[in-house]
Chain A
Amino acid sequence: EIVLTQSPSTLSLSPGERATLSCRASQSVGSSYLAWFQQKPGQAPRLLIYGSSSRATGIPDRFSGSGSGTDFTLTINRLEPEDFAFYFCQHYGASPYTFGQGTKVEIK
């Protein structure tokens, strides 16, 4: 099974700053099957990015994804107050579709 390792575990930033989140896979995922999710307390995860770099419907363009192979990045430009949350990466190319352990983006 592919293990996804996210870093950092916590990111402390101020509104308006840029957040850069990393997701590293234990083996190649390919670029087509890597997704990023946002989750707030008490809510289900929400799909932000699929196929490594495609934004899901309704996701603001301050969210962007990049990467291929084993290294992927989620960038959030100009953090808004509602962006402070947990973020998970996930691959869905081959079963089992594992998730990373998450990065918490918190207000500094």
Chain B
Amino acid sequence: QVHLVQSGAEVKKPGSSVKVSCKASGGTFSSDSLNWVRQAPGQGPEWMGRILPILDVANYAQKFLGRVTITADKSTGTAYMDLSSLRSDDTAVYYCARGPNSRLDFWGQGTLVIVSS
């Protein structure tokens, strides 16, 4: 059974960066895509980007290009999402989700990121 465990909640100042981790267990880490999805309060989910660990290739939603970096460490089965130049509207719960061909079969528990001065 695949299990994804994310790092804890963060409070950040506007203009700073945040790095959220997602450790996977079970299944085959390298062969699935690892996606990041965020959800602002009262809103629907929003896909940010994904990485294919087996190829070490990431792609991102246009909206986040230049601000987000997704990486993966195959040796530890951990993925990371780094979001820079934070604004108040980046306040959201950030989820990692994993599955074959970018299908989102399994989700982490979510990480709340609050951006506030």
Whether B83 is near chain A, meaning CB under 8 Å from some CB there, is no
B45 touching A90, Cβ below 8 Å: yes
Whether B29 is near chain A, meaning CB under 8 Å from some CB there, is no
Shortest Cβ distance from A60 into chain B, in angstroms? 17
Cβ contact of B59, chosen from A37, A45, A95, A102, cutoff 8 A: A95
Q: Which positions 67-117 of chain B face chain A at CB distance < 8 Å?
A: 95, 97, 99, 101-105, 107-110
Please count how many residues in chain A sit with their CB below 8 Å of the partner chain's CB atoms: 20
Whether B44 is near chain A, meaning CB under 8 Å from some CB there, is yes
Q: Taking A44-B108, A44-B110, A96-B61 as contacts, is the C-beta distance between A35 and B103 under 8 angstroms?
A: yes
Most chain B beta-carbon neighbours within 10 Å: one of A1, A44, A47 = A44
Closest chain B residue to A101 by CB distance?
B44
Cβ contact of A44, chosen from B43, B59, B95, B101, cutoff 8 A: B95
Interface residues as binary, B20-60 with A (CB distance below 8 Å gives 1, 0 otherwise): 00000000000000010000000111110010000000010
A45 touching B104, Cβ below 8 Å: yes
Cβ contact of A92, chosen from B43, B44, B104, cutoff 8 A: B104
Whether A84 is near chain B, meaning CB under 8 Å from some CB there, is no
The main secondary structure of chain A at its interface with chain B is loop
Please count how many residues in chain B sit with their CB below 8 Å of the partner chain's CB atoms: 23
A92 touching B110, Cβ below 8 Å: no
B62 touching A45, Cβ below 8 Å: no
Q: Chain A residues with Cβ under 8 A from B102's Cβ?
A: 92, 97
A44 touching B107, Cβ below 8 Å: yes
Shortest Cβ distance from A27 into chain B, in angstroms? 16
Q: Chain B residues with Cβ under 8 A from A90's Cβ?
A: 45, 47, 104
Closest chain A residue to B99 by CB distance?
A47
The CA of A40 and the CA of B44, in the complex, are separated in Å by 12
Interface of A with B (CB < 8 Å)? Answer: 1, 35, 37, 44-47, 50, 56, 88, 90, 92, 95-102
| Further pairs besides A44-B109, A45-B97, A96-B62: 12, Cβ < 8 Å | A1-B62, A35-B104, A45-B45, A47-B99, A47-B103, A50-B105, A92-B101, A96-B61, A99-B44, A99-B47, A101-B44, A102-B44
